């Protein structure tokens, strides 16, 4: 699908969708339980893959009046009757790789071409350290993966600078092993707030897990039992970042974003980043509401070590700001649905932005940029699509984005929300 976004002013109310990160974890946590209800969940392409995995392991997932009713597999996944296809969802593949290692037999996991190019090697090695067997069919550390269990727990040493999802997967599965799991980090943990999200969800499901001096520890023999059998997913700051950025660049008079309550989400940093850049923004934490108005922004320096999903949003803001915006500590952002560092450099350049790409950084010279409408590509990445749409709001002319359907991964109603904010979005 192609979507065309004209230069526009935006105004009105918008609701951030439910968090994709929390939804993934809540669905799998409910799968580990005997059963649970998940309220305010995100129904998207990625989260549907996790629902499918829970069903492959012997659970059942049904939407009943916008509430997920999950009949879990009680902590012990069955061997799936078929290959588990994780689509484009790296979170699904990583969280369920260790879940598969709990099953008494062999599980095969695969995904689309993008997912089959993403690194899984350290997680496969972790499963081996726990007494299971996990290998890449192509011997390159990438899917398709073949996993054999059952594991009983133990100690694993794993790098922290490839993906925090490895740690989350080990903690979630480790709770139902006999011996529990100790995770020793051999390198600095990147994207640490995502592990904090996992710890928060585990706690809400009655599971104890803690940080240690060298990593994390989850005792074994635990059961997943959410309070009152229910869990409610919070709003998503990653998705809210596009709405907040739209308000800061084109709000006239203002955009009011709802469902932005404080949580463990690292991407709540977008509030501080916008404020530092000079945005006229007010955040009512108690009521989960942020109001933002069109502002003269200035470049800044942002470390995305813990917030890789914000890089596309920050790059767009930098292209419309005065001065230079330096996005640093960004090498791990190259290993997402696409290489987001190169993708944003390439696509913003098509729109007239002056951009420099380094191995571990992206420099956007907004003071030297005059954004113009252009034909750009989403490159199979939902976050690239949404960031480019926001850039289109302040580009002279019209911006046409190819592959715009990929917003279904995390924010299926994104273009509907833009339309409701006053953007004359056209689709073909």
**Banded pLDDT at 67 (limits 50, 70, 90):** very high
Sign of CA dihedral 311, 313, 319, 320: negative
CATH of domain 20-232: 3.65.10.10
Q: What number of H helices and E strands is found in the chain?
A: 12, 24
Neighbours of 15 (CB within 10 A): 18
Q: What is the pLDDT of residue 278?
A: 98
Residue 142 annotated in ligand binding: no
Residue 90 annotated in ligand binding: yes
The domain limits of the chain are 2-17+235-427, 20-232
Query: Does the fold of domain 20-232 match that of domain 2-17+235-427?
Result: yes
Neighbours of 158 (CB within 10 A): 21
Residue 222 annotated in ligand binding: no
Distance, in Å, from the CA atom of 193 to the CA atom of 301, rounded to the nearest integer, reads 20
pLDDT tens, 267-283?
A: 999 999 999 999 999 99
Distance, in Å, from the CA atom of 337 to the CA atom of 114, rounded to the nearest integer, reads 6
Interhelix angle 340-350/382-392, rounded to 10 degrees, is 30
pLDDT tens, 131-148?
A: 999 999 999 999 999 999
**Banded pLDDT at 370 (limits 50, 70, 90):** very high
Average pLDDT on 110-123 reads: 96
Assess whether 309 carries a catalytic annotation: yes
Residue 163 annotated in ligand binding: yes
- DSSP secondary structure code for residue 220 in this structure: S
State residue 54 phi and psi, 5-degree precision. Answer: -60, -40
Which residues sit opposite 106 in a β-bridge? Answer: 148
Q: What is the pLDDT of residue 16?
A: 96
pLDDT tens, 185-201?
A: 999 999 999 999 999 99
Question: Catalytic residue among 85, 204, 309, 406, which?
Answer: 309
Distance, in Å, from the CA atom of 63 to the CA atom of 425, rounded to the nearest integer, reads 30
Q: What is the pLDDT of residue 53?
A: 98
Q: Which residue has the tokens 């989350």?
A: 168
Contact 390, 400 (CB under 8 A): no
Distance, in Å, from the CA atom of 320 to the CA atom of 298, rounded to the nearest integer, reads 9
Residue 340 annotated in ligand binding: yes
Q: What is the pLDDT of residue 379?
A: 97
Take residue 280 and report the two structure tokens written for it.
């006229």
Q: What is the pLDDT of residue 190?
A: 92
Average pLDDT on 94-105 reads: 98
Distance, in Å, from the CA atom of 313 to the CA atom of 318, rounded to the nearest integer, reads 9
Average pLDDT on 218-238 reads: 97
Take residue 379 and report the two structure tokens written for it.
């490159």
2-17+235-427: CATH topology: UDP-n-acetylglucosamine1-carboxyvinyl-transferase; Chain (3.65.10)
Nearest alpha carbon to residue 296 among 251, 333, 334: 251
Residue 293 annotated in ligand binding: no
Residue 168 annotated in ligand binding: no
Average pLDDT of the chain is: 97
**Banded pLDDT at 157 (limits 50, 70, 90):** very high
Q: What is the pLDDT of residue 91?
A: 97
Distance, in Å, from the CA atom of 84 to the CA atom of 215, rounded to the nearest integer, reads 30
**Could you give the 3-state DSSP secondary structure of residue 213?**
coil
Q: What is the pLDDT of residue 167?
A: 98
pLDDT tens, 302-351?
A: 999 999 999 999 999 999 999 999 999 999 999 999 999 999 999 999 99
Q: Which residue has the tokens 């006053």?
A: 422
Q: What is the pLDDT of residue 245?
A: 98
Average pLDDT on 239-257 reads: 98
Neighbours of 187 (CB within 10 A): 11
Average pLDDT on 21-30 reads: 98
Q: What is the pLDDT of residue 359?
A: 94
Q: Which residues contact 346 (CB under 8 A, 6 or more apart)?
A: none
């Amino acid at each position: 699908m192609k979507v065309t976004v004209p230069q526009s002013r935006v105004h009105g109310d918008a609701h951030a969708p439910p968090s994709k990160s929390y939804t993934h974890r809540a669905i799998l946590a409910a799968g580990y339980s005997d059963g649970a209800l998940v309220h305010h969940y995100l129904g998207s392409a990625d989260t549907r893959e996790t629902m499918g995995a829970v069903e492959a392991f012997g659970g059942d997932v049904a939407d009943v009046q916008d509430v997920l009713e999950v009949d879990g597999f009680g902590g012990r996944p069955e061997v799936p009757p078929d290959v588990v296809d994780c689509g484009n969802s790296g979170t699904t593949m990583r969280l369920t790789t260790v879940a598969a290692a709990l099953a008494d037999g062999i599980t095969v996991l695969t995904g689309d071409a993008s997912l089959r190019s993403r690194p899984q090697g350290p997680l496969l090695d972790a499963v081996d350290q726990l007494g299971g067997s996990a290998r890449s069919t192509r011997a390159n550390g990438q899917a398709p993966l073949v996993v054999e269990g059952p594991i009983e727990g133990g100690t694993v040493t794993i790098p922290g600078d490839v993906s925090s999802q490895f740690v989350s997967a080990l903690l979630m599965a480790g709770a139902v092993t006999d011996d529990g799991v100790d995770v020793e980090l051999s390198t600095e943990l990147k994207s640490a707030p995502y592990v904090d999200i996992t710890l928060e969800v585990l706690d809400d499901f009655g599971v104890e897990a803690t940080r240690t001096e060298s990593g994390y520890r989850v005792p074994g023999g635990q059961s997943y039992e959410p309070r009152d059998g229910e869990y409610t997913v919070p709003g998503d700051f990653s998705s809210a970042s596009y709405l907040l950025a739209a308000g800061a660049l084109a709000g006239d008079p203002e955009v009011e974003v709802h469902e932005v309550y404080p949580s463990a989400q690292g991407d709540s940093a977008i509030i501080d980043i916008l404020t530092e850049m000079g945005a006229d923004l007010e955040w009512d934490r108690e009521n989960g509401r942020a109001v933002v108005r069109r502002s003269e922004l200035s470049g800044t320096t942002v470390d995305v070590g813990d917030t890789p999903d914000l890089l596309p949003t920050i790059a767009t803001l930098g292209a419309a700001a005065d001065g230079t915006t330096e996005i640093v500590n960004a090498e791990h952002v190259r290993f997402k649905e696409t290489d987001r560092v190169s993708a944003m450099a390439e696509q913003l350049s098509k729109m007239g932005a002056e951009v420099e790409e380094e191995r571990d950084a992206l420099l956007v010279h907004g003071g030297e940029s005059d954004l113009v409408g252009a034909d750009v590509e989403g490159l199979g990445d939902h976050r690239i699509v949404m960031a480019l749409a926001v850039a289109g709001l302040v580009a002279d002319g019209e911006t046409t984005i190819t592959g715009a359907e990929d917003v279904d991964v995390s924010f299926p109603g994104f273009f509907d929300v833009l339309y409701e904010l006053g953007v004359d979005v056209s689709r073909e």
